[in-house]
């Protein structure tokens, strides 16, 4: 299942405890192709005020179809790799560089995570690109992660994005996924594909505030 979320910057807020909160958002989900998600998310975004946005941000977990979809639907938007997902790959790289020992890797990883978050991403990316790899299993992991960070280098300007008040994590999408798990994967539930798609469409209409448009007035 593929999920997408749209909201306007002024709809984001925080609770008294500092937790992120979105006053209004639209959510789409699909079992189909990425372009289907893009078409429906774009329609909901236009309906929700995309046309009056002076700037746009597409935040993704790193999978290629998200950036392909962004190029097709919102080519002028900025791109950002979700900080948590980038951090997971940095941990994988750190473990490989330290004999797969997480305790030894921790200081190396945490220091570079701090620099990534606070505007020194170029120094971290330069260090990663200079790492030596080999044909060993750990060397192959290092090579894979070097390619990963090289491919996402232009999507890691976290301090600049955070300074605008924009998110650097995909919490809104992760929250939507958790709600889907609770709604559609309860004990004893099972769905045909057609049944799931029909129920999903009703759930989206309710959540995205066009439930009444489904029904003809009499």
**pTM assigned to the model:** 0.85
The mean pLDDT of 117-125, rounded to a whole number, is: 97
Confidence of residue 118 (pLDDT cuts 50, 70, 90): very high
Asked if 67 and 34 count as a contact pair (C-beta separation under 8 A), the reply is no
Residue 19 has pLDDT above 90, yes or no: no
Lowest mean pLDDT segment, chosen from 38-47, 99-108, 193-202: 193-202
- Of residues 127 and 203, the one with the higher pLDDT is 127
Q: State the Cα angle at 72 between 47 and 8, rounded to 5°.
A: 35
Q: Which residues pair with 78 in a beta bridge?
A: 57
Asked if 57 and 37 count as a contact pair (C-beta separation under 8 A), the reply is no
The mean pLDDT of 5-33, rounded to a whole number, is: 81
The mean pLDDT of 98-103, rounded to a whole number, is: 94
What is the model's pLDDT at position 83? 96
Compute the mean pLDDT over every residue in the chain, rounded to the nearest whole number. 89
What is the model's pLDDT at position 171? 75
Residue 23 has pLDDT above 80, yes or no: no
What is the model's pLDDT at position 217? 56
- DSSP letter at 17? T
Q: Which residues pair with 58 in a beta bridge?
A: 79
Q: pLDDT for 158-213, tens place per residue?
A: 999 999 989 998 877 777 767 777 778 888 888 888 888 888 888 888 888 888 88
- Portion of the chain with pLDDT greater than 90, in percent: 56
Within 74-151, residue ranges assigned H as helices are 83-97, 102-117, 121-129, 137-151
What is the model's pLDDT at position 190? 85
Q: Quick one: CA dihedral 115, 118, 123, 129, positive or negative?
A: positive
- Of residues 46 and 25, the one with the higher pLDDT is 46
CA distance 21 to 172: 9
What is the model's pLDDT at position 41? 92
């Amino acid at each position: 299942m593929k999920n997408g979320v749209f909201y306007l910057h002024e709809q984001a807020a925080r609770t008294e405890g500092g937790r992120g909160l979105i006053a209004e958002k639209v959510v789409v989900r699909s079992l189909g192709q990425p372009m289907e998600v893009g078409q429906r998310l774009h329609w909901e975004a236009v309906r929700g005020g995309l046309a009056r946005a002076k700037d746009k941000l597409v935040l993704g977990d790193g999978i290629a179809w998200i950036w392909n979809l962004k190029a097709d639907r919102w080519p002028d938007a900025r791109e950002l790799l979700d900080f948590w997902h980038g951090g997971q790959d940095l941990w994988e790289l750190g473990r490989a560089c330290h004999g797969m020992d997480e305790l030894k890797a921790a200081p190396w990883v945490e220091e570079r995570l701090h620099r990534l978050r606070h505007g020194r991403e170029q120094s971290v990316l330069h260090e990663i690109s200079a790492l030596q790899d080999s044909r060993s299993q750990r060397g192959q992991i290092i090579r894979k992660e070097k390619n990963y960070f090289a491919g996402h280098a232009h999507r890691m300007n976290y301090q600049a994005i955070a300074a605008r008040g924009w998110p650097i994590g995909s919490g809104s999408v992760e929250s939507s996924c958790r709600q889907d798990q609770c709604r559609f994967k309860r004990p004893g539930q099972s769905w045909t594909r057609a049944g799931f798609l029909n129920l999903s469409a009703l759930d989206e209409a309710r959540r995205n505030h066009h439930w009444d448009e489904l029904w003809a007035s009499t």
